[in-house]
Chain A
Amino acid sequence: MTDVMEKPAVKPELKVVGTRPVRPDGVDKVTGRAAYGADLALPGMLIGKIKRSPHAHARIVSIDVRKARALPGVKAIVTADDFPDLASQEYEAGESASNLRDLSQNVMARSKALYKGHALAAVAATSAAIAQEAVDLIEVTYEVMPHVIDVEAAMAPHAPVLHDHLYTEGLDERPKLPSNIAKRNRLERGDLDEGFAKAEVIVEGRYTTQAVHQGYIEPHACVCSMSEDGQGQVWASSQGQFMIRTYCAKILGLEIADIRVTPAEIGGGFGGKTTVYLEPVALALSRQSGAPVKMVMSREDVFEATGPTSGAVIQVKLGATRDGRITAAEVELKYQAGAFPGSPVGAGSMTALACYDLENFRITGWDVVTNSPKVAAYRAPGAPISAFGVESAMDDLARKLSMDPIALRELNGVRDGVKAAYGPTFHNIGYLESLKAAKEHPHYSAPLAPGQGRGVAVGFWFNVGGESTATVHVNEDGGAVVATGNPDIGGSRASMAMMAAEVLGLPMEKVRPIVADTASIGFSMLTGGSRTTFATGMAVTQAAEKIVVDLKRRAGLLWDLPADQIEWRDGAAVCLDPSKEGLRPMPLAAIAAQSAKTGGPIGAEVSLNAQGAGPGFGVHICDVEIDRETGNVSVVRYTAVQDVGKAIHPAYVEGQIQGGVAQGVGWALNEEYVFDGDGQMENPGFLDYRVPVASDLPMIDTVMVEVPNPRHPFGAKGVGEVPIVPPLAAVANAVRGALGVRMHDLPLSPPKVRAVIDAL
């Protein structure tokens, strides 16, 4: 394990990296051969179902399972009594520390149901029908309590309190009473009053967003088996097999070594599969029944019981001189956390003003628990929400100053050597280059049709590194296998194979990438935070480089030459000794064929904690057209510019950018959790929860700006988070342009737009 990485030079003359080979997982996915979480079946397997709370907030007085247990075919029933009552303790397993007590009580409610859909008990039976019948036979006595979902209502002094133990962190004085406000954070610099006093123009706005779901196509699913000797196996779709292993062990009180997790193919995660819901329950049911248990969520379960991201209130005030220089900025963010603390308001605060070089600002963030599902990560967690407020206000500022919106951002934009609003000094960033590319793109100067509007917005994400393991093995015929511990969500199989191929000098097709289970490879943090191509790619590259060193040594043995007289070039050992002029290059296949003579199988493993992830910036341009009869907003043209460092597989990078934009457009225009007066979600299905489909969107143009990250072997920066940050405001600013009226509350759905049109 290494903490500190050498700073490698960016490699010239790349032959594989930067090309667009066919994806190694493509055929399996388009033919239906790929095995997802719900595809596995084991002999004697039972089906598990969960009893969920019909109330948004209720004390659990009793749970009577006697009738359910008596039903023929029922093999196991578990409640919170079958799990250890964990103390409050933070534990690192996902991307950051989670409170194990909260995690466990989200998996299975202990004394209170905190949202509609909260798990109360689970059944395993010989068929899905019997399991469902047994769930219906479980009798729960509730003491229904008042609930609160709106974030500001939850902050109000007399709001129903979810947790008696929750006292606000981050205040100057510890509060005397518990409340729903878990934490306040604050970032500030300079003198805000002085900054606003210098301002000649001030804009202010209050903006709101609703909770939205990651909307992955594949519902959560797993098969779990616990043998009589306490050995557990899990097959599950997630963003991290090691995350599942750790959380299951902690929630069930098991040793980590007693659980083996095999990653299934994943049908989308976007941050929502960075935690556990079903797996500990299925293991507990399997432990009780002695048989493997499969559990698959319905779409309704996914909406009602897994993490969306926060609904929020964003207050922004900006002051500027008449020539466009921002003199002060004040931002207040109130984010729903759902049933347990931990909204992404911290990252929302740190990213809110990260694109701007400011002397005076204050950002205040509030993390607030509510009677709704515990939020989970969603691409660039927290950043799209704060960017919606800030970038909308920036658009208003540009209009008030009669300035070009990109010019305003260029004037105030961060560059190398500038201190970010969240603290550190930026280096090797490509923000101004991205703004320039957007300004020069034909889209930006293209005329708009009557009734259309154009919006611009920018976005930032830190990107992260972290712990990764990779092994590379050379086959007997000179091909190679690359194994990593990261599920392939955004194309990591391809990028891992390409980086190994580049170093080994092989065509990409001769490198087979696989995703290994937890018993077959060393620890890797989950796939998320745009870390895999950066961090795991670094491990793959270093493993391949170790192999190259070994290959030169082996060639030396075969040629009776010291290794320093041998160079690795285009997949072959090349003799540098001029006295051996006749020696032809020895290709990898020839060395591999003689591996027994030179030390045995050829392979290497590298485990590291990758440092030096480079931050990413995006600049988006959006054109909309509004149907004035229905209020429907159509995105008619969209261009996303992003600094990607170096695109390893450009088609995948374009796909990441386009996917982020599509999700952001959905967030802006249609998606929202709609609750009734009892705290029940009214639209827990894709018919009523409207995500954009292909026919809703134009072809999304992408421009990849490449300002290399010198801390990655090939210059890569994370790319998956940034593209979802600007679209909310880019769309809203375009609507502002088309209507001539600022709309502050997402989604900009047809009824709201129509109401604005009617009021014109």
Chain B
Amino acid sequence: MAHVSISSDGRGFTGGLAELEVDAPTVRGLILQLDQRYPGLGDYVQRRMAIAIDGEIHQDAYAEPLGADSEVFLIPKIGGG
């Protein structure tokens, strides 16, 4: 199970819960599961958040795989100048 940490931006959907376990093979599966457990969170993650998997930040990458013990952080999307 991937260990998922949610930054404060997304915790409004989880009632303040900051960490959870998710069994999903890919980012797409993760988003679907988040939305199933906490309606609206999956959509919020897609619109506003980046997903860091084992230290690497991904933005809009459905196919990116999650390992069984992956460390996942949901953080605000990053732009730049």
Contact = CB atoms under 8 A, between A and B. Distances in A.
A379 B73 CA distance: 24
Contacts, number: 119
Contacts of B60: 3, 466-467, 609
Interface in B60-81: 60-65, 71, 73, 75-81
A94 interface: yes
Nearest to B73: A423
Given A425-B71, A427-B55, A187 B48 contact: no
Given A90-B47, A187-B7, A423-B5, A609 B79 contact: no
Contact of B80 (A97, A422, A424, A464): A464
Given A90-B47, A381-B81, A464-B78, A425 B57 contact: no
A200 B25 CA distance: 47
A95 B48 CA distance: 11
A461 interface: yes
B9 interface: yes
Nearest to B27: A3
Interface stretch (A217-225, A284-292, A526-534): A526-534
Interface string A73-102: 000000000000000001010111100000
Nearest to B56: A612
B33 interface: no
B12 A170 contact: yes
Given A170-B12, A423-B73, A611-B56, A379 B81 contact: yes
B59 interface: yes
Interface string A367-390: 000000000011111000000000
A405 interface: no
Interface string A340-384: 000000110010000000000000000000000000011111000
B54 interface: yes
B78 A423 contact: no
Contacts of B81: 214, 269-272, 274, 377-381, 528-529, 720-721
Interface residues of B, number: 30
A613 B55 CA distance: 11
A711 interface: yes
B5 A461 contact: no
A272 B79 CA distance: 12
Which of B12, B54, B56 has most A Cβ within 10 Å? B56
Which of A271, A423, A612, A721 has most B Cβ within 10 Å? A423
A714 interface: no
Contact of A528 (B8, B63, B79): B79
Given A90-B47, A424-B52, A95 B80 contact: yes
A462 B73 CA distance: 14
B32 to A, nearest CB: 16
A4 B80 contact: no
Majority DSSP secondary structure for residues of A touching B: loop
A467 B59 CA distance: 10
Contacts of A97: 47-48, 77
Nearest to A174: B12
B37 to A, nearest CB: 20
A655 to B, nearest CB: 16
A95 B77 CA distance: 9
B61 A611 contact: yes
A667 to B, nearest CB: 13
Nearest to A169: B12
B14 to A, nearest CB: 13
Contact of A424 (B48, B55, B61, B64): B55
Interface in A171-187: 172, 185-187
A595 to B, nearest CB: 34
A612 B54 CA distance: 11
Interface string B1-33: 000010111001000100000000000000000
Given A170-B12, A422-B75, A613-B57, A3 B80 contact: no
A463 B79 CA distance: 8
A721 B80 contact: yes
Contacts of A271: 80-81
B75 A464 contact: no
A423 B75 contact: yes
B5 to A, nearest CB: 6
Nearest to A660: B81
B69 to A, nearest CB: 12
B61 A4 contact: yes
Contact of B52 (A186, A423, A466): A423
A511 to B, nearest CB: 27
B3 to A, nearest CB: 12
Contacts of B65: 4
B79 A377 contact: yes
Contacts of A381: 79-81
A195 interface: no
A708 interface: no
B73 A424 contact: yes
Contacts of B80: 95, 271, 377, 379-381, 461-464, 528-531, 718, 721
Which of B8, B62, B78 has most A Cβ within 10 Å? B78
A270 B60 CA distance: 24
A186 B10 CA distance: 11
Given A3-B62, A4-B65, A424 B71 contact: yes
A465 interface: yes
A185 B55 CA distance: 21
A426 interface: yes
A350 B8 contact: no
Interface of B: 5, 7-9, 12, 16, 47-48, 52, 54-65, 71, 73, 75-81
15 contacts: A4-B64, A90-B47, A94-B79, A187-B7, A377-B80, A423-B7, A424-B57, A424-B71, A424-B73, A461-B80, A462-B78, A465-B59, A466-B59, A466-B60, A611-B58
Given A170-B12, A185-B76, A347-B79, 13 more contacts: A4-B63, A95-B80, A96-B78, A97-B47, A350-B78, A381-B79, A424-B52, A425-B71, A461-B80, A464-B59, A464-B80, A528-B81, A720-B81
Interface of A: 3-4, 90, 92, 94-97, 169-170, 172, 185-187, 214, 269-272, 274, 346-347, 350, 377-381, 422-427, 461-467, 528-531, 609, 611-613, 711, 718, 720-721
Please name the 10 residue pairs, one residue from A and one from B, whose CB atoms are nearest each other, closest first. A529-B80, A271-B81, A95-B79, A423-B73, A424-B52, A379-B81, A3-B63, A425-B55, A186-B8, A377-B81
